[in-house]
Amino acid sequence: MTKPVPDPPLETPLEEALRTEDLAKNREAIKRALDFYLCPNPVRPSPPSTMFMVRPNVDTESLLAHACESLASASTLASNFANELSGEQRHSVLAIQQIIMLAELAVNRALDRVDPQG
């Protein structure tokens, strides 16, 4: 038995053009997908808010002294608040106060090591 159609069938010029066009579209889609996932456009960081900003020329000693005073105030506030509570809530606030006190000790040690600026 003979086949009237060749195996595989021959493409007409129109079918071949459509197939080539589909391949080109597929390649473009693949390239866009790869570029999207592998080469994303860099996200520009948003500019910092200038509402609350530390002056860039403030010396390290002043910054550490201010941080130390702020931590001491936070520790006092946490201690006073803990005195108003009982049970688990009191323990939680005292744990927060302890963390604040440890941070204050670290800042104090850093302040001791800083040479005063002129």
64 and 100 part of one domain: yes
- Looking at the domain assignment, is residue 4 inside a domain? no
33 and 68 part of one domain: no
Q: Which residues of the chain have pLDDT under 50?
A: 118
The whole domain housing 86 covers: 60-113
- Looking at the domain assignment, is residue 2 inside a domain? no
* Per-residue model confidence (pLDDT) at position 117: 53
Q: Which two tokens stand for residue 68?
A: 């130390």
Give the helix/strand (H/E) hosting 81.
helix 60-83
- Looking at the domain assignment, is residue 3 inside a domain? no
Tell me the C-alpha to C-alpha distance, in Å, between residue 55 and each of 36, 71, 100, 108, 110: 39, 20, 25, 22, 20
* Per-residue model confidence (pLDDT) at position 118: 47
**How far is residue 65's CA from residue 67's CA, in Å, rounded to a whole number?**
5
- Looking at the domain assignment, is residue 106 inside a domain? yes
Q: What is the pLDDT of residues 71-95, one digit of tens each?
A: 999 999 999 999 999 999 999 999 9
Report which of 115, 15, 111 is spatially closest to residue 71, judged by C-alpha positions. Answer: 111
